[in-house]
Every structure is written in C-alpha cells, then in structure tokens.
Amino acid sequence: MKKTIVLIVMFLAITSLSFAQWIQQGIGLDWANARWISIVDANTAYFGADYGGFGTKIYKTINGGVAWTMVYSNSAHENRGGGKIFSDQAGYAAFEDKVMKTSNGGQTWSQIFQTGSENPTIRSLAFPTENVGYAFYWQSSIPTWTVAKTTNGTTWNIVYQNASMEFNQYSSAMFMNETVGCIPGYGGHLYKTTNGGSSWTDMMLPEEVFRVFMMDANIIFAVSGTNTANVYKSTNGGSSWVMKTVPSSVSLMDIGFINQNTGWVCATDGKVYRTDNGGDIWSLQTTPASYLRYISFADINNGWSLGSSGMLIHTTNGGVTLLAPTVTSDPATNITETTASLNGTVNANNTPATVAFEYGTTTAYGNTVNATPGTVPGNSNTPVSANIMGLTRNTLYHYRCLAVNSAGTTNGNDMTFTTLCTLPGAAGPVTGPAGVCEGTTGQVYSIDPIPDATGYTWAVPTGAIISGGWNTNMITVNFPAGAVSEDVTVYGTNGCGNGSASSLAVMVNPVPPSPVITQSGNILFSNVPLGNQWYFNGNLIPGATQQVFQPMQSGHYSDIVTMNGCSSAPSNLINFTMVGIMEKEDGAVKIYPNPSSGLFTIEFRSTPAEEVTITVYNILGMNLAEIKSNPGVEGLRKSIDLRGVTEGVYFIRIRDAERELVKKVVIKR
C-alpha cells in the first residue's frame, strides 16, 4: 500500500527578475515540470508539478502570488493529466491512472475514479463545471482510446471509445460547457464534441496542435505544436480555419483568451505574445523565463505562466510593458480677458494615468488644475482639457499638460497664450443741458454705462469746473463767469486703452445786465428792448414782456430781462401810484385829431439840432412803431398812420436829448 504524506511548506515570493511586466514568483520552490494551473480569481490560484519526473506537488496562493504554499505532496504518483480547483475548495486532479478529488483546497485528496488500464496514464482531465468532468486515456485491454465522464463528480461512465482517435500526450482538453469541448490529437487532428462526448468530429488542421481554447461554440483557437508558431482561428465552430503567425521561431505551448479580442500564447523559449484584435496581430512580451508550458488569466490584467525547473511568472497588467504616459500640450481655446480652456492629448500607454494642467505667468507655472477627464485609461490618444479663470487681462501665460501613472510622470511641452484686452465700447449720447448761463452750478451730464469700461474721462468747456462724478458715467458741472461755449466730451477707459468718445455742444450764455426802468406819467419803460418780464410786488405779471408797460394799479414794479435762457438780476424798483391818464397839454406837444380813425399828426417843439424819437405802444406795452426825425426851425411835425390797428387806447412816447413825454391817443372808427 502506498503511503501518502501531506506536507505544508510556506515560501515567500521574492521578486528577483523583472522583464516588461512579467515577474518571477515562487523563487526557491522545489519542483521540476509544471503540469497544470487553475485560477480561481486574481488572488487565488493553484498549480500542480512533479519534481524530477517523480511524484506530485500542488501549490496555492491567496494573495496574487506574493506567497505560495505547498498544500500537497506525494512522491508515489505523478500528476500529469491536469487539474481544476473550483471556488477555492472543491477540485479534481489526475494522478497517473486515477482521478482524485479534494474538498479542502487541495490539502487532502480521495480517489473517485481509476482507469484500470495497463497503460494507466490519463492524458487529459477536463471539468467544465464542479460536477461534470471528462477523463481521456488509453484502455489497453480492448485496446482503444477512451473518454470517461462524470455528471455528479463521483461516479464515472465510459461515453466514447475509438481505437484510432489517439490523444496528444502534450495536449489538454477544453470544454466550454457541459456538452461542447475539444481535445487535440496527433498529426493535425482536433476532435470536437457537441453532445457531451458521445460522438466526436475531426476538425482536421494543416499541422499538429498542442492546445485549444474555446471562447464559445463557434470561436475556437488552437496553437501549433511545431516550429511554425501558428495560431489557428475558427469563427464557425471548426468548419473552416484562418491561420495567423506569431512572430516566434519556436513552438507554441499554450493559449488563453479573456475575451474575443485579448489573448496570450506562451512558447518554448520563455516568451509570451499578446493579441488585442482576436489573433490578427501578436506582440512580444519578454519574460524572465527560458521555457514556458502553461498560461492562464483570471481577468485582462492578472495571469500566470509556468514552465519547468521552478519557473513561475506573474503579471498584474496583462503583461504590458509599463510605460509612462505620452503627453502633448495643445493650443488653448476659448480665451477671454480672464478665462481660457487648456487642452492636451494623453495616451496612458495601457496604464491608467491621472491628468492635470500646470499654468502661470512663467515656466515655473505655480498653479495646477485637474483635467477633464481626470483619469485616462487604455492605449489611445485621449483629448483632455481644463477651464481656468481669474486670469489677468492682456497677460502672457505659460501652461503644460502632465500625466502620472505607475511608470512615471510625463510633462507635456510648454505652450503659451495671451489673455484678451478688450477696449471699452463706444460712448453713447451725452445727455444734459445744451445751453447754460454763466454762473450756473450743479448742471448734470451723463451717458449710459459703457461696456468693458472701468473708468470714464470727461472734458468740459474751458472755464467750467467738474464738481462731482469724476471717473463715473455721470458728472456735475459748474459754469462760473468766464466759461466759454465748447463741447462736453466723454470716453470709456480700461487697462487696454480708451474707447470712442461722445460729445455734446454746450452754449455758455452771458447773463444780461440788470435793466433800468423809468416812469413817464402812467407808463413804465425798460432801457432793454427785448426779453423783458415785468413784476408787480415781486410777482410775475403774465404777458407783461414788452419794453413799455402801463400799470393798472398802484404798487411796486420791477423788470427782469432774459436772453438765451439767462435772466438778469431784477431792475431798480419803482413805487407806482395810480392817478389816471394825464391829458394836460404842456404846450410842447400837440396831437390832432385825437380821437382819430388812426391817421393823426404830432407837433413837437424842439431845437433843430436835436434828434426826436417817436415810439407807439399799445395798451400791453408792445412797440408798434418807432420813427426818428430831426425837427425844423419851427420844430417837428409828423403824420402817424395807425389805421391798420384795432380801436383802442395807444401811447405815444416822444424823446429828445432833454425831454421824454408820453401822450395817449384814442383810435375810434
């Protein structure tokens, strides 16, 4: 009776060699030739090996290969036909002519099947599920090649026998589910079943293949077992095949895919090749190994490959050589006075990279902002950007894109941009008084706010003074005596310059002198012919705007003259007493006929050298006519024609150098 000895030995993995991203693990483990590997997940995996061609050792890791524990050792039986561990506990392995089962992660094994053949070695063992499995072996007693099957993980039945269907001793069967699977033979034979092993179809290939990998019932990959290093692919379940050549000069030993595009092969010279396009192109991944036999992946990043003489390698990034990101700083866009969009292009080179931008007014930068997207994965050129604000107008800025991954940091090229400097908009119309009087204060001029203006520059007429509102869109102006008529002008300003100006012409009018009023009889006269306004006891008399005014009641009378909107100071004050219209003839003046129809004669004694002025006023003081004449030796005699006026009372004012007389005439028809 053979004695089984169970040894548990712990070896810490030491990373001693590193090529690309395949790192040797398990240095110091004592085994010679790998026989199988079974991956549960990215952290948990098992592999079986012999040592020196005798016995079996099974190793386990639960931390991604950082440490491997030998969970089983048996010097009496070789584990050549393969093994499979499910859910980190239940599993199966072929020990020469026996199928063994474990329920505790490989620590102990019990026999569940034995071939009973004189040529006992099981060539291949395949378990697509935890209960359904297949064993392939030669049964010499018939003799024939045999397929045995279990559907409950315990009892076995022979489902197929064929004396000519020889199974390749270097091959491994693969089932994608409980009924569909393949196993390589010799000489290019590749057998496929779709009914759980009851019958097999030969999908003959041009050359011998060692390993097969099924993605589904249609997509099948197989690797040649010759030095041609070819990969065969079928997309129709093996009815036809397309050959792709891997750039290797030695035989390929195993193949595995994680999806329809990404897969790996290993070769007898210790190299690994990867495809990301379904096998069309294969890229070399250098490893520290000199010989590899098996390769398997838990996901697109985590995988192991085994060879001989203790060679076990592991990758956590799909075997891709770690490269720092490739970064380009691209021209900035959306540049304004205070904002800009920084742009760049990043290729993470298959290792996720964190992306940001640095910027500042020098190549020291000094400011950092995260990019969008903030993390770039994969192996393609990805546009990235960042919006920045709070910039200074009309300023040169430096910036660069930078990306960081586990392989290092890459700074993009330095780029520059200059923020815009927008001039203020054109000033709108100036509003305010277009005519002012000398001495006026508090005159307001304004414009609507000017776009992009931070200040306002005003110019006012010479002599005028801005008393308030400097550098705003509204000012207050005083016009003291001496201010001249000129434009009020304004334009907007900012740090970039000045905008277009707007002007308003302002007329500065003088203030008329105070008028002098006199009284002649019951008539008041102003010495200013135009712009008069008469007042009674300080109150404006409506309509009393002529040079002559006849009061209708006793009181204090004055006059203010307004010219171009500017009013004089009040005139002297006359205290008028109403005594009736003077009709007394003083002998110097005769008017006849009076009343008249409008045609009458004036006689006035005066010296010949003196000029006499005769002025006719109506009852409102309006000047209707003015005649100047020099008297003769006997005085002045002048006919006056007022036949064009309405009936009523009119006043005749007669003046020479010495006298001023007023007479009333009555027009009646």
Beta strands in 510-567 (DSSP E): 517-520, 523-526, 532-536, 539-540, 548-549, 555-563, 566-567
**105-122 as b/e: b if 16+ CB within 10 A:** bbeebeebbebebeebbb
346's tokens: 């990043």
Greatest CA span in the chain, whole angstroms? 184
Backbone angles phi, psi at 523, to 5 degrees: -115, 140
- Rounded Cα distance between 468 and 101, Å, is 101
**153: closest CA among 110, 108, 216?**
110
- Rounded Cα distance between 380 and 357, Å, is 19
pLDDT for 265 equals 95
Number of H helices, E strands in the chain: 0, 61
71's tokens: 């969970």
- Rounded Cα distance between 515 and 532, Å, is 9
Q: Are residues 153 and 119 in the same domain?
A: yes
78 has a pLDDT exceeding 80: no
Q: For residues 20 and 319, is the Cβ–Cβ distance under 8 A?
A: yes
Q: Which residues pair with 144 in a beta bridge?
A: 139
88 has a pLDDT exceeding 70: no
Q: Are residues 86 and 229 in the same domain?
A: yes
Q: Are residues 158 and 274 in the same domain?
A: yes
Q: Is residue 202 part of a domain?
A: yes
The full DSSP string for 148-159 is EEESSSS--EEE
For the residues 426-450, what does the mean pLDDT come to?
A: 96
Higher pLDDT, 591 or 521: 591
Q: How many residues does the chain have?
A: 669
pLDDT for 12 equals 30
Q: For residues 507 and 529, is the Cβ–Cβ distance under 8 A?
A: no
- Rounded Cα distance between 242 and 219, Å, is 11
- Rounded Cα distance between 304 and 204, Å, is 30
For residue 579, name the pLDDT band (cuts at 50, 70, 90): low
Of the given ranges (216-220, 632-636, 657-661), which has the lowest mean pLDDT? 632-636
Sign of CA dihedral 175, 179, 185, 191: negative
585 has a pLDDT exceeding 70: no
Higher pLDDT, 192 or 80: 192
Q: Is residue 2 part of a domain?
A: no
Beta strands in 279-395 (DSSP E): 283-285, 292-297, 303-307, 312-315, 326-333, 340-347, 353-360, 367-376, 382-388
CA 47 to chain centre: 52
Q: Tell me: the pLDDT tens digits for 125-166?
A: 999 999 999 999 888 778 888 999 999 999 999 999 998 888
Q: Which CATH number do you get for residue 639?
A: 2.60.40.3080
pLDDT for 623 equals 80
Q: Tell me: the pLDDT tens digits for 279-307?
A: 999 999 989 999 999 999 999 999 999 98
**127: closest CA among 159, 162, 82, 160?**
82
State which residues form the domain around 409.
Answer: 326-418
Q: Is residue 3 part of a domain?
A: no
Q: Are residues 308 and 347 in the same domain?
A: no
- Eight-class DSSP state of 304: E
Q: Are residues 166 and 293 in the same domain?
A: yes
Structure-derived torsion over alpha carbons of residues 30, 271, 243, 297, reported in degrees to the nearest 10: 60
CA 244 to chain centre: 46
Q: How many CB atoms lie within 10 A of CB 427?
A: 23
pTM given for the model: 0.54
Token pair 């006269």 in the structure block, residue: 525
Our count of domains for the chain comes to 5
Higher pLDDT, 463 or 95: 463
Q: Which residues pair with 356 in a beta bridge?
A: 370, 402
Q: Are residues 311 and 204 in the same domain?
A: yes
pLDDT for 607 equals 74
Beta strands in 412-527 (DSSP E): 415-418, 435-437, 440-446, 455-459, 465-468, 474-479, 486-494, 497-498, 502-509, 517-520, 523-526
Q: Is residue 4 part of a domain?
A: no
- Rounded Cα distance between 446 and 432, Å, is 7
For residue 388, name the pLDDT band (cuts at 50, 70, 90): very high
For the residues 400-409, what does the mean pLDDT come to?
A: 93
Q: Is residue 310 part of a domain?
A: yes
pLDDT for 624 equals 84
The full DSSP string for 395-440 is -EEEEEEEEEETTEEEEPPPEEEE---PPPPPP---BS-SEEETTE
pLDDT for 310 equals 81
- Eight-class DSSP state of 596: B
The whole-chain average pLDDT of the chain stands at 88
Q: For residues 264 and 258, is the Cβ–Cβ distance under 8 A?
A: no
Q: Is residue 175 part of a domain?
A: yes
Q: For residues 304 and 65, is the Cβ–Cβ distance under 8 A?
A: yes
pLDDT > 70 fraction of the chain, expressed in percent and rounded: 94
Q: Tell me: the pLDDT tens digits for 27-69?
A: 878 777 888 899 999 999 999 888 766 778 899 999 999 999 9
Q: Are residues 161 and 281 in the same domain?
A: yes
What contacts 133, CB < 8 A, 6 or more positions away? 84, 92, 99, 125, 126, 127, 149, 150, 153
17 has a pLDDT exceeding 50: no
Conformation bin of residue 128: beta by default, left when phi > 0, alpha when psi is -120 to 50:
alpha
Higher pLDDT, 350 or 199: 199
**602: closest CA among 645, 644, 646, 642?**
642
Given 246, 280, 315, the domain boundary residue is 315
For residue 450, name the pLDDT band (cuts at 50, 70, 90): very high
Q: Are residues 565 and 663 in the same domain?
A: no
Q: Is residue 31 part of a domain?
A: yes
Conformation bin of residue 442: beta by default, left when phi > 0, alpha when psi is -120 to 50:
left
Q: For residues 388 and 377, is the Cβ–Cβ distance under 8 A?
A: no
Q: Which CATH number do you get for residue 496?
A: 2.60.40.10
- Rounded Cα distance between 553 and 580, Å, is 10
Q: Are residues 61 and 197 in the same domain?
A: yes
Q: Tell me: the pLDDT tens digits for 481-517?
A: 999 999 999 999 998 899 999 999 999 999 999 999 9
pLDDT for 126 equals 94
First and final C-alpha spacing in the chain: 171
The full DSSP string for 100-163 is EEESSTTSS-EEEEE---SS--EEEEE-SSSS-EEEEEEETTTTEEEEEEESSSS--EEEEEET
- Eight-class DSSP state of 580: -
565 has a pLDDT exceeding 50: yes
Q: Are residues 594 and 557 in the same domain?
A: no
Q: Is residue 581 part of a domain?
A: no
Q: Are residues 311 and 330 in the same domain?
A: no
pLDDT for 20 equals 52
- Rounded Cα distance between 139 and 171, Å, is 18
Q: For residues 519 and 543, is the Cβ–Cβ distance under 8 A?
A: no
Given 418, 447, 475, the domain boundary residue is 418
Q: Are residues 501 and 522 in the same domain?
A: no
pLDDT > 90 fraction of the chain, expressed in percent and rounded: 61
For the residues 341-352, what does the mean pLDDT come to?
A: 93
Higher pLDDT, 642 or 77: 642
Given 264, 291, 315, the domain boundary residue is 315
